[in-house]
Amino acid sequence: MGLLQNILAVLVVLGLLVTFHEFGHFWVARRCGVKVLRFSVGFGKPFWSTTDRHGTEFAVAAIPLGGYVKMLDEREAPVPEDQLDQAFNRKSVWARIAIVAAGPLANFLLALVAYWALFVAGTTTVAPIVGDITPDSPAYEAGLPEGAEITAIQSDPVRSWEEVNLKLISLIGYSGELAVEARPEGASQARDYALPVQSYLARQDPPQPLESLGFMPWRPSVPAVIGQVVDGDAAAEAGLEPGDRIVSIDGAPVTDWAAFVSIIRESGGRTLELGVERDDASMALSLVPQRKPLENGAEVGYIGAGVTPVDWPEALLREVRYGPLEAVGQAFSRTGEMIVLTVDAIRKMLVGLISPSNLSGPITIAQISGDSARAGMEAFVGFLAYLSISLGVLNLLPIPVLDGGHLLYYFIEVVRGRPVSERAQAMGLRIGLAMIGTLMVMALYFDLMRLW
């Protein structure tokens, strides 16, 4: 069922993103007087198509990993004399720039609408309360107290752990004193704390923004009660069922879920004797955690079970909601922040501050799409907006075969006063295909590493 949900979720996500992207090209091309021959969602042979009164074929093809808009163009096929004025290559350079740029801009618009809908509907976030502090860490040295609520980082206000993490991720490579403003438990005013960092999160795989500063989010005590069991994994084979409370392991009491998980992770392949309470009755079960390899070559124990969720205290929940007009400004602000964050992440990956293993391909996208769909509409829409921004930014990279590569050629044409030669474009196409092919292989490789 999980695999089916992942597949359906990624089809919905990619379908929406591709449709909006290509519709941007299509809509502007029509407004510029270019004849559109085909609007296709997916590649390969269409399994559904229809033609409108303008002669444009709208198709859905079998390979849902992209799409395209095919326009009338003398460079691709002979054009009838009476249709030359509708050919893409006959339009002014500024019209061609507008048509090509419209795809990525449509992705940014989709993200803007998604964020606007989230802000109007309202989102519930958890206040960023500091939990355990690691001794001799930057947070410890700065005197950041447990129980304090983080209110700003580098003078930028934050209201949730999501905003805290986004701000910290944007500081990858930072050296100096990281300014954290936090309100200690019971205090009425926030105080400033300077956390000393050196090349913060640089080349860390994967980045751990909070752990690197030496603190964890505060979480309510979570009892060791099984919430979900994955069929075929160790927990199911041992006979564990949803609702079971783990009270001991090898005779030692289990205090909470975190302690249970810690023992499981350290016990791959070893037989554990569990003391379990089920329906007010006590029983003993034998559990052998599976060994699960990590990307760094280490192994951890894994049993295929989830925890029963607990309710957060009402005092720590923050509802973020705006009126329709105010939400427009907030949506523009969030979209702009995410665009800048994505561009900066690409830059830092190129200079070596971020590991290339953070690249994600179709497998990871499918998993995250499924997880966000199961987490609810709020998480799914937020992920859709983020992925739409990523697609828009990536398409604007100045790599031939991408929209950004075509825009590069057209801006060179503006400066030189004549188009880039066919030979130069053909060479650029080969280079671009090699670059994109390499990135796709790398992303798929890291996908498989995460999966295994």
Residues tagged active-site: 22
Which candidate, 313, 268, 274, places its Cα nearest to that of 293? 268
Which candidate, 219, 12, 198, places its Cα nearest to that of 129? 219
Write the DSSP assignment of 25-70 as a string of letters: HHHHHHHTTPPEEEEEEEEEEEEEEEE-TTSPEEEEEEEEEEEEEE
Q: 248 near 259, Cβ under 8 Å? A: no
Question: 324 exposed, middle or buried (CB, 10 Å; 0-12, 13-18, 19+)?
Answer: exposed
Q: 234 near 287, Cβ under 8 Å? A: yes
Instruction: Please report how the helices 422-451 and 403-416 are oriented relative to each other, as an axis angle in degrees rounded to 10.
Output: 150
**Rounded distance, CA 416 to CA 156, Å?**
43
Write the DSSP assignment of 170-234 as a string of letters: TTTT--EEEEEEEE-TT-SS-EEEEEEESSTTTT-SS--HHHHHTEEE-------BEEEE-TTSH
Q: 367 near 6, Cβ under 8 Å? A: yes
**Rounded distance, CA 218 to CA 228, Å?**
23
Pairing of strands 252-253, 156-157: unpaired
309: CB partners within 8 A, 6+ apart: 227
**Rounded distance, CA 354 to CA 202, Å?**
6
**Rounded distance, CA 63 to CA 319, Å?**
40
Q: 110 near 20, Cβ under 8 Å? A: yes
Write out the two tokens for 319. 């509802």
Q: 58 near 26, Cβ under 8 Å? A: no
| Residues facing residue 315 across a β-bridge | none
Pairing of strands 281-287, 290-293: unpaired
C-beta neighbour count of 40 within 10 angstroms: 20
Q: 128 near 217, Cβ under 8 Å? A: yes
